[in-house]
Amino acid sequence: MLVVIALGGNALLRREQKAEASLQRENVRLAAQAVAAVARRHKVVVTHGNGPQVGLLALQSLAYREVDPYPLDVLGAESEGMIGYMIEQELGNDLPGRQVATLLTQTVVDADDPAFHAPTKFVGPQYEEEEARRLQRNRGWTLEKDGDKYRRVVPSPAPQRILELPTIRLLVEHNVLVVCAGGGGIPVAINGHGAVRGVEAVVDKDRASALLASDLGADALLMLTDVEAVYRNWGQPGQQPLRRTTPDDIDPSQFAAGSMGPKVEAACRFVRGGSRQDANRRSIASARGVSRPTASGGPLAGIGALANAAAILRGESGTVIRSSW
């Protein structure tokens, strides 16, 4: 099987933790163990979030007033290198002899996407209300409530395509474990002359991961985070975990737009697209020597806790979405 594993930014740096390099390293070490448990049996492509990290880089950039603050696309590239380096190194430690490569990845978006006028993507640390109001007033940021605190939100345009897809595909075909599309990829737009330029945004990692998984013909997409499953009525007394469902039975709009909503949307998009293209995907994979699952229901999308990656793939943990059961 070919499995795309999307590591959430909050799985790599938990909400209550300071953005210390040593803490991130320890979290990445644990994440690598979970990925390695899957990679020992399957081909794997790893993507990752960067919300906490790119937010920290933005704050550090603002602190040096001799130059203009760096734009979000450049900060995204920096975070791809930093996080990818840690993941690649720890996976190499867990999978001796396995080739691992981190690839700087650009994701094309539409420069006229309405999302540029309606920021929704959380980045950076959490703030108390008073500090959030000060940042909004002094820096012109948009801040929204995230739990009982506040975080900065930035535009999150829809990913259209991944420029480095042919390279990723080539590496996968040669059994390289690829780390790519960090933070959803570096957001870029292409002008009328074909020139590529960065844009001030953050692409949602789960939406980009679903696009990547579909384009690679993956059998499964795992979105791993710091919660055990998708819950109906999250945070309320009657909250209930969803274990097995289909795209027709779950509505992404019922979940938080800045966190679980994009994961559910990405899962449903991948499952629907994979189901329609399953016959073609199987024939392509057969020619490449990649085994495909024989279980009914087609491609699988799973959402759940990082430590449970292998169990989610087996349908024993988290929330698993397929076209049919």
Provide block-wise average pLDDT over 10 residues at a time, the chain (325 residues): 90 74 91 97 95 81 80 93 95 97 98 93 85 88 90 92 98 98 96 95 94 97 93 84 94 83 94 64 48 61 95 96 92
Choice among 50, 76, 124, 205 that is catalytic? 205
Cα(48)–Cα(155) distance, integer angstroms: 18
pLDDT on residue 281 = 47
Q: Among the options 49, 55, 76, 121, which is catalytic?
A: 121
The whole-number pLDDT of residue 296 equals 52
pLDDT of the residue at 138: 85
Q: Is 145 a catalytic residue?
A: no
Q: Kindly list the strands in the beta sheet with 100-102, ordered across the sheet, starting from the edge strand earlier in the chain.
A: 100-102, 177-179, 43-48, 2-7, 220-225, 300-305, 319-321, 244-245
Confidence at residue 34, expressed as pLDDT on a 0 to 100 scale: 96
Residue 284 has what pLDDT? 46
Give the pLDDT confidence score for residue 282 in this predicted structure.
47
- The C-alpha angle with vertex 126 and arms to 105 and 82, in degrees rounded to 5, equals 30
Instruction: Tell me what pLDDT residue 287 has.
Output: 46
Assess whether 175 carries a catalytic annotation: no
Pairing of strands 230-232, 240-242: antiparallel
pLDDT of residue 150: 93
pTM: 0.86
Question: Edge to edge, what strands does the sheet with 121-127 contain?
Answer: 121-127, 149-154, 142-146
Look up 121 and say whether it is catalytic.
Answer: yes
- 43 classed as catalytic: no
Annotation says 93 is catalytic? no
